């Protein structure tokens, strides 16, 4: 295990490597440069429609209610996302502004970025009697402040006649210090909730999730490196190590646990809600900080996921103790997984899963929170779509890795669906029920920080060109710096890729688009071979992606893979 190493898989490195894999002529087949610019402008308009309405009707409160032109701060309205038990004079943490700062720079709006930074510098305070969710506050507020500080400090020329003075970093450090009492447990695993003024409250719940205590290392680690205060990274790393030591003999983890006893509460687990960003942060911490410890954990965890959760293109849930399947369902948060697989180099498997997620998106117009795989139908209660970004995120990564214009078409479909089903006069509203497209009065801040950002980068990646960034789970860019690395990673080998029982090499691995090279026709980058060379099969899971149409092949009654669903 320790001999397998990943290279510094930085976004710009991916861009440089794959640009030679697809010519401009290939990309022009389905998506011209003019159309890319049009789609870029469409996404820009989406962002400003959401952002301007937030600034007009909700700022400085946390999030916008687009149907009523109102705002929300309290947990009772937000589910599990933000602040609770707020004092009457509390005016909000300007969460959506914090979440929007890096997106403003992606769109090239330096003036609005500067205005936002200066407002936060002069007005934001965390000295409030407010109970917050540690995980959500970490990825949204702390991550947003750290990312914006780095971007501001690297471009101080933007602040004409104004002194920035690292104010956002001071705010981030203050918030990080208010997090530390949550880690004062016998196990080192943090409480899920913390009061910003008083610390851990009496009779606070001791239950947390794997993501909640295992997805803190990027923001806390970056804070330590920026402040030279090791307490933040130390606390997050101790929690991560403890969590990893709680894994089963199969290298699987559960979903929820007790922070005082270190005992599992829910043994069933998958790659979706409650666990998702744990896997994401192991890989990204390795890229950002260069420690082999993160790669060793990720490599073992990734192989376990592929062995026990994967069923063809889908990922079900399983019991961490036995590896036996428990719930056969797709959750919308799982859609981040193809993007993570792309970063690790497992592009063929990423493409296969991504296309299934997009199939469900097309079926309903958006991606439902839960989809029952066994019955190919919606979950009876969790039918909502809260403007989540994960499918757009994976689409962006896969396009960067393959330059296949099909992913641009996927993005176009996502943009059209969002504008058709969720855009209202006051912003963008969540969908309460995807079967009726009934809307809910809530515009989540991650629509600004992630959904719009990844869709924009899909059509215009100039912000990341020539630069090395890791995006946090909330879409906040953190630069990869050699000074932050314990050591530079060794050369990458392909042993971590999901294997296909065939001697043929998918063009996804070589990143080749359909065109004529020296007179020989080259397969499409979307192509995934059938499991067997003779195309025989016993189930759809053994069939690949057609190289010409990029459609999923299925298994016929006679036992052969083909485009049977499309035969009329």
**C-alpha 177: how far from chain center:** 26
b/e 226-259 (16+ beta carbons within 10 angstroms → b): bbeeebbbbbbbebbebbbebbbeebbbbbbbbb
The strand pairing partners of 477, in sequence order, are: 471
The strand pairing partners of 555, in sequence order, are: 561
Going by DSSP bridges, is the β-strand pair 256-258/207-209 parallel, antiparallel, or unpaired? antiparallel
Query: Which stretches within 403-451 are classed as H helix?
Result: 406-421, 446
Strands in 92-250 per DSSP E: 131-133, 193-195, 207-209
204 is catalytic: no
Task: List the catalytic residue out of 276, 393, 441, 460.
Answer: 276
Strands in 196-255 per DSSP E: 207-209
Task: List the catalytic residue out of 390, 393, 450, 460.
Answer: 390
Residues comprising the chain, all counted: 568
CB 152 within 8 A of CB 103: no
276 is catalytic: yes
Residue 411 CA to residue 395 CA, distance in Å, equals: 7
Residue 10 CA to residue 13 CA, distance in Å, equals: 5
Residue 274 CA to residue 155 CA, distance in Å, equals: 37
Residue 258 CA to residue 264 CA, distance in Å, equals: 6
Task: List the catalytic residue out of 369, 404, 523, 530.
Answer: 369
CB 449 within 8 A of CB 476: yes
Query: Which stretches within 58-94 are classed as H helix?
Result: 75-78
369 is catalytic: yes
CA atoms 100, 106, 107, 109: torsion sign: positive
As a whole number of angstroms, the longest Cα–Cα distance in the chain is 75
- 206 annotated ligand-binding residue: no
For the annotated catalytic residues, the residue numbers are 136, 276, 369, 390
Residues in binding site: 473
Residues in binding site for Ca(2+): 473
């Amino acid at each position: 295990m320790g001999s397998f190493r990943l290279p510094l898989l930085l976004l710009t490195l991916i861009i440089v490597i794959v640009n030679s894999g697809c010519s401009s002529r290939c990309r022009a087949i389905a998506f011209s440069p003019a159309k890319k610019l049009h789609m870029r402008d469409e996404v820009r308009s989406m962002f400003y429609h959401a952002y301007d309405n937030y600034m007009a009707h909700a700022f400085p409160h946390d999030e916008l209610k687009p149907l009523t032109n109102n705002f929300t701060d309290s947990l009772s309205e937000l589910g599990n996302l933000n602040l609770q038990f707020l004092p009457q004079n509390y005016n909000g943490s300007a969460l959506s502004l914090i979440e929007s700062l890096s997106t403003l720079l992606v769109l090239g709006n330096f003036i609005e970025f500067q205005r936002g930074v200066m407002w936060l510098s002069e007005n934001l305070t965390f000295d409030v009697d407010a109970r917050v969710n540690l995980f959500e506050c970490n990825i949204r507020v702390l991550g947003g402040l750290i990312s914006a500080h780095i971007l501001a400090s690297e471009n101080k020329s933007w602040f004409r006649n104004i002194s920035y003075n690292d104010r956002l970093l001071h705010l981030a450090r203050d918030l990080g210090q208010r997090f530390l009492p949550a880690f004062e447990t016998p196990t080192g695993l943090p409480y899920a909730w913390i009061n910003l003024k008083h610390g851990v409250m009496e009779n606070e719940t001791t239950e947390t999730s794997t993501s909640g205590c295992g997805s803190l290392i990027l923001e806390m680690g970056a804070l330590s490196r920026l402040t030279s205060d090791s307490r933040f990274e130390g606390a997050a790393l101790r929690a991560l190590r403890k969590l990893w030591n709680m894994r089963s003999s199969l290298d699987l983890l559960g979903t929820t646990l007790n922070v005082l006893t270190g005992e599992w509460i829910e043994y069933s687990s998958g790659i979706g809600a409650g666990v998702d960003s744990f896997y994401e942060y192991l890989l990204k911490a390795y890229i950002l900080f260069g420690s082999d410890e993160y790669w060793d954990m990720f490599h073992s965890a990734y192989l376990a996921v592929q062995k026990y959760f994967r069923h063809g293109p889908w990922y079900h849930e399983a019991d961490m103790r036995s590896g036996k399947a428990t719930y056969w369902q797709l959750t919308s948060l799982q859609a981040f997984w193809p993007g993570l697989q792309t970063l690790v180099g497992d592009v063929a498997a990423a493409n296969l899963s991504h296309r299934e997620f997009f199939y469900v998106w097309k079926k309903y117009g958006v991606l439902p929170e839960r989809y029952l795989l066994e019955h190919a139908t919606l979950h009876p209660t969790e039918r909502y779509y809260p403007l989540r970004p994960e499918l757009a995120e994976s689409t962006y990564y896969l396009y960067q890795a393959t330059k296949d214009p099909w992913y641009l078409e996927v993005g176009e479909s996502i943009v059209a669906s969002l504008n058709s089903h969720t855009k209202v006069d006051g912003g963008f509203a969540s969908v309460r029920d995807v079967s009726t497209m009934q809307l809910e009065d809530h515009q989540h801040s991650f629509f600004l920080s992630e959904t719009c950002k990844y869709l924009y980068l899909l059509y215009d990646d100039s912000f990341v060109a020539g630069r090395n960034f890791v995006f946090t789970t909330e879409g906040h860019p953190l630069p990869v710096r050699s000074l932050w690395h314990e050591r530079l990673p060794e050369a990458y080998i392909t042993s971590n890729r999901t294997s296909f029982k065939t001697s043929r090499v998918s063009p996804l691995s070589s990143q080749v688009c359909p065109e004529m090279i020296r007179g020989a026709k080259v397969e499409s980058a979307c192509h995934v071979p059938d499991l067997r060379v003779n195309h025989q099969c016993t189930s759809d899971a053994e069939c690949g992606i057609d190289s010409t149409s990029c459609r999923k092949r299925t298994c016929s009654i006679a036992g052969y893979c083909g485009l049977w669903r499309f035969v009329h």
